[in-house]
A and B are shown apart, each in its own frame.
Chain A
Amino acid sequence: MAVSLSYDLLLLLVISSLDWSSTPGSAFLTDHNRMTSSGRSEKKQQKRERATPVEPHFTECMSRDLETFRCWWSPGTFHNLSSPEELRVFYLKRNSPSSEWKECPEYSHLNRECFFDANHTSIWIPYCLQLRGQNNITYFNEDDCFSVENIVRPDPPVSLNWTLLIVSPSGLSYDVMVSWEPPPSADVSTGWMRIEYEIQYRERNATTWEALETQPHTQQTIYGLQAGTEYEVHIRTKMKGFPKFGDFSDSIFVKVTEIPLRESAVLLTLVLTFGVAGILILIMLIVVSHQQRLMMILLPPVPAPKIKGIDSELLKKGKLEELDFILNGGGLGGLPTYISDYYQDEPWVEFIEVDEEDADCGEKEDQKSSDTQRLLGLPQRSVGCFSADSHPDDDSGRASCYDTDLSEQDTHLLAASLLPGQPEDEEAFLHPDEKAPASETNKSPLIQTESEGKPTWINTDLYAQVSNVMPSGGVVLSPGQQLRIQENTEKESQKKGTLGEDTSKLNKPQFQLLVVDPDGSGYTSEITARQISTPPSSLVPGEGYQTIYPQPMETKPAAPSEPNQSPYILPDSPQTRLFAPVADYTVVQELDTHQSLLLNLPTQQPPPPCLPQHPLKAPVAIGYVTPDLLGNLSS
């Protein structure tokens, strides 16, 4: 099939090229020249006429009403025809194979026209026309075959008139409705012809016409005409489904004069709209410029609990040393100033204060009681002054101590075993009054600590990890950051260089943390040797882990005025035997070369020796190691 088609194509191409030169061209331009307009075809014709001598041919065949049609011919150039009557028109109706050529039913020699009336017109049947001259010379062109429905050009409409539809509020433009009647020759009422109309209009002196879409109704609206200008309108028709347009109708003129009365109203509306727009813009500008204030008013920030003396910004930035300094710095007297500096603007800041016991501590003057102790209500064994008396009424969550469960040894045992920071010496625990700590090591693989004879309780800080809940209802805490370093020389042998892995909150199990107790008896020198400098803190012998036990304090006369006693956690080395229970929450200070973490364990300030009314200001809450802090450290 494709081959045949292409063959056809070639053949036809060849034939047409041959034909092109000889024939005068298709005058009718019916089906196949749908694309071209009649004007173009006429131009082609004229070209050919000038170019070569042309034989007689038909110029056009047209029907106006789909019932009759006419054809016009021209005699051509190269024949010297005396009279136009010499040429005769013959037509052929191809509705049967045995059709023959018949002569034109009605001549009009003046116009060189042949008219076919209704009796001789059949639609949908091809007609072919030819001219015959003298001596039966026929001039026949295959192109002069057509069907009548394809050559219809309807007449233009009649009785055009226009009415003003509406004028715009400004009075500058208006809409017009144009109406007309269908051409009388076209039989629209019986439905025989279906006609579409096309309106074109232009300004009086313009050259180009504007055309609206063809539509089948007998009226149409023209929108947007300018007042004061005169417009010219005309209409033409065509058959629906066929491309050929008829002639244009006569033009009508449309004009509307301007109406100036409406200007004031227009001006007023304009002013109003612009004013409103301007005001809106101003409001927007105000809002944008005072955005923050407005935001503060509309969406006040949510107050968050703050810890006195600690600026959350410092925590965010990871400046631990400063934080340390702040917390422990400048003695106790330094804190209030910090507090006032940080929080003077924020009256809503509530401080969680950690108070200290009063001076009537007696032996336990130096012993501080952490909040957790009070929370737990654990027996402050040897201390008799843990009474909830002189606490300022702060919302610090302190609990008064009570003497419950004191006697239950199992709970203590349990607590002892669970709490890593506990003095490993259960026996010491069990026998609270024994001074001599048992030399047995605890069974727990956790940190060995120097345990005192005194059953020490956890010297935990404000934030401590709950390790377990006792059946009796109490809460067992892990030691937190407070290291309980028992000065037990007897325990030296028991010390192992272990890990603080469990207790540290750092997720680096491969690191070994070693808590070094600078405070330990006899080890301070080593510790100082190992000391890696952290600026604000200098290891002072005698300082270090602040314990609750007055005893170590007694032996160490050094005043715990130095805030910063950071026991350093050094990587495990055989030399260091000292270790202390590592808190659950520790701060990683640095990474040293061995990829070990150096923890910074700020400790609480040692309570001043029974200073009256000395609330402990520094709860040492640097327990949190957040990932960004870690990042800061490691970087």
Chain B
Amino acid sequence: LKREIKKIISAVWVGIICLVFSSRLSTMKAASICPNDQTGCHLLPLANLFDRVIQHSARMHGISDDLHSEFELYFLPSKNQIGRVSRNCHTSTILTPNGKENAQRIAREELAEIILKLLVAWRDPLWHFHQSMSQHDEFTNFSSNKSLEMSDMVHELRKGVLKVVEKMQMLGIISNSVGDTGSPEALLTSDSAEWRFMKDYDLLYCFRRDSNKIQNYLKILKCRIVPKHGC
């Protein structure tokens, strides 16, 4: 009998402790996020998400920049390839705002969709680029690691942007029209073959440009939606 009583008492204690801790945790969660500012408090997690995603895109742009300059070392540095490259970017079909005003005038949903479209469009080309890079012995391990990283980052960034969109839809900031409309199937049917004909260098140039676009659009979107948190 004594043993049973002891067991019961210990179980009760454990239960009480668990309850206390869980309640504490829940209160702590709520407490830590919004310390002082109560007005825009519910938007703080969204701002954090945005910041992370923007950092991610900045890093992606940095890597693409590095790779691009490395490529220029192999090819002629003096020759400016810009003139002949522009026609060949496979993402030229995606209509993107090319100025600040355009970017500000465009609807948020559209902007988010454009970002997602761009990210989706680069998934496969980067993967194939990495494959072809790793087969060439000319390129260093450093470059091939970077290309792999770049290819991964596109995936991660797309997931991150989807999360942000979800959050925004949850908060009612944007409508639910933005979804996985930028699915790869839609794009692949239209320009499935184009990017395969691009040369590596052109691909890098195009991606560098597009990563900068993505970075810019994300920042603009953030500052439109959550302007008080670090713009």
Contacts and interface: CB of A to CB of B under 8 A. Distances in A.
B100 A187 contact: yes
Contacts of B87: 94, 97
B104 to A, nearest CB: 7
A33 B77 contact: yes
A191 interface: yes
A190 B230 CA distance: 10
B82 A15 contact: no
B213 interface: yes
**Majority secondary structure, B binding face:** helix
A192 B224 CA distance: 11
Contacts of A268: none
> What range describes how many residues of A lie at the interface?
35 or more
A118 B100 CA distance: 9
Contacts, number: 128
B40 interface: no
B82 A16 contact: no
Nearest to B98: A122
B177 to A, nearest CB: 23
B79 A190 contact: no
B172 interface: no
Interface in A9-48: 9, 12-13, 15-16, 19-20, 26, 28, 30-35
A293 B77 CA distance: 78
Contacts of A240: 58
A549 interface: no
A194 B219 contact: yes
A26 B82 contact: no
B142 interface: no
A26 B216 contact: no
A1 B132 contact: yes
A32 B58 contact: no
A147 B138 contact: no
Interface string B65-107: 1001100101111111111011100001000101111011000
A561 B192 CA distance: 118
B100 A15 contact: no
B222 interface: yes
A618 B9 CA distance: 75
A15 B76 CA distance: 10
B65 to A, nearest CB: 7
B173 to A, nearest CB: 16
Contact of B136 (A2, A67, A142, A241): A2
B79 A125 contact: no
Interface of A: 1-2, 5, 8-9, 12-13, 15-16, 19-20, 26, 28, 30-35, 66-67, 94-95, 97, 118, 121-126, 128, 142-147, 149, 187-192, 194, 240-241
Interface of B: 58, 61-62, 65, 68-69, 72, 74-83, 85-87, 92, 96, 98-101, 103-104, 132, 135-138, 205, 209, 212-213, 215-216, 219-220, 222-224, 227, 231
Given A144-B80, A192-B103, 5 more contacts: A28-B80, A32-B81, A125-B98, A191-B220, A191-B222
Top 10 nearest A-B pairs (CB, nearest first) are A191-B219, A191-B223, A122-B98, A145-B82, A145-B83, A94-B86, A143-B80, A12-B76, A126-B86, A192-B100
